Structure 1
Amino acid sequence: MDTFLGHQTTVDFYGCKSDKINSCEFIENTLLKAAKILNLTVVNTTIHSFSPIGVSGVIVIEESHIAIHTWPEHNYIAIDFFTCNNAYNLNEGLRWLKDEFQAESISQKDIKRGSLKEIQDYKS
């Protein structure tokens, strides 16, 4: 039995192509394709372009969410994947995203969220 309610993966993409990661249309299309590759179920999408530069957005999925923030002036993207199960192939999706963003490197951290033991201790 899994002892955590959620799994969060934070991913930093470095050396991305600034023109691509400053486009709302590109970011939205890329995240929607990534969700499909990962077999995640999209519920809603909100993508926002900042002036003069940068994009932020959230893809709400039945499994939870994908959030993105871009800094084109630094050729950098931060993405969070938060899901209630980790049965999908995140590594395949990350390889695909790295290619799409033309990132030179990525860094990934995995976090377990919602310890059922701590929840039970709190309820006691």
Structure 2
Amino acid sequence: MLTGQTLTTPQVVDVANEHEVGAFIGHHTLAEFHGVEPALLDDGPQLRDMLTGALAQSGATVCDIILKQFEPQGVTVLALLSESHASIHTYPERGSLFMDVFTCGTVAKPWLAVDLLAQAMGAADVRTNTVLRGDTHPCCQ
């Protein structure tokens, strides 16, 4: 886990053709943001737009977005990606959120989407973990 706003780029697995159809490989980035302005964490439309922008800048293709505003507070945003999915779940009362981005293949960079969103939101503390999935596992090689 990392703290602070400096995120490191995880190991990227190279494949012969990064656009190979059916390549069983992916990167799954899990994150927590802390120290975010509570009002922002309760602004569903702004969060949706910020997530969409961060995903696009990271190379992901957004197909659809679902936004759920909770009462008395909190937001969940789910993004269906051509490459897989992304989600954020906010806790305004704690100034925090959970973020999850999984992308199949090697073109989209989920850790970059996390970094971009954390910077845009002004998160004081960011903790991430990126897991390599699929053919990167020793049993599959």
| TM-score (structure 2 length as normaliser) | 0.74
Identity of aligned residues (%): 26
Unaligned runs of 5+ in 2: 1-13, 16-22
Are positions 1:112 and 2:132 aligned together?
Answer: yes
Are positions 1:102 and 2:136 aligned together?
Answer: no
Residue aligning to 1:76: 96
RMSD of equivalent CA atoms: 2.4
State which of 17, 41, 51 in structure 1 corresponds to 2:61.
Answer: 41
State which of 16, 21, 30 in structure 2 corresponds to 1:10.
Answer: 30
| TM-score (structure 1 length as normaliser) | 0.83
Displacement, 1:94?
3.1
Displacement, 1:100?
1.7
Displacement, 1:118?
5.5
Over 3 Å counting, the alpha-carbon distance change for 1:4 and 1:108 in structure 2 is farther
Contact 1:4–1:112 at 8 Å: present in 2 too? Answer: no
Q: Distance in 1 between matches of 2:139 and 2:111?
A: 29
Q: Distance in 2 between matches of 1:112 and 1:53?
A: 34
Over 3 Å counting, the alpha-carbon distance change for 1:93 and 1:117 in structure 2 is closer
Displacement, 1:112?
2.8
Name whichever structure is richer in helix by fraction.
Answer: 1
Residue aligning to 1:64: 84
Q: Distance in 1 between matches of 2:56 and 2:119?
A: 16
Q: Which amino acid aligns with 1:14?
A: H
Over 3 Å counting, the alpha-carbon distance change for 1:36 and 1:103 in structure 2 is same
State which of 53, 63, 75 in structure 1 corresponds to 2:73.
Answer: 53
